[in-house]
Amino acid sequence: MLWLHSQPTLPVLLVVHTLLCANVAAFVGVAPSVLPKAFPVPVRSTGLAVSYNLAAIVFAGSTPALMTWATASLTVYAPALWVGLGSIAALVSVRALFRQIAEVEALQEVHAGEAPTA
């Protein structure tokens, strides 16, 4: 991003914006197919709704106020540090997400092998 700051031209802005959008697309493209696998079928809709909305409330609701304070009080790079912290948290949680998916899939296999009760 220092490149954009040192050369504030339209072509540089377009390249930087494209790179940032590609990073967002990498998450947004995968999340809808991975997140449902983290919840068993009977609670899938509720699990997705609650987890998404809690994250939206906590992070989307508090980030503007937090970044206003941090930019004025700490450093102008506070938004970048916040994104970096969020990225680290996401990378750390990936292992737990895949462990949860494996548990849900194993549970579904066990239930698929059972005879239906009438």
pLDDT value, residue 82 = 85
Residue of higher predicted confidence among 103 and 30: 103
* pLDDT of 90 over the 90 cut: no
* Tens of pLDDT, residues 28-79: 777 777 788 888 888 888 988 898 888 888 888 888 888 899 999 988 888 8
Q: What is the pLDDT of residue 3?
A: 66
Inter-residue contact 35 to 48 (CB < 8 Å):
yes
pLDDT for position 4:
64
Residue 27 CB coordination number (10 Å) = 11
Domains of the chain, residue spans: 37-111
d(CA 95, CA 114): 29
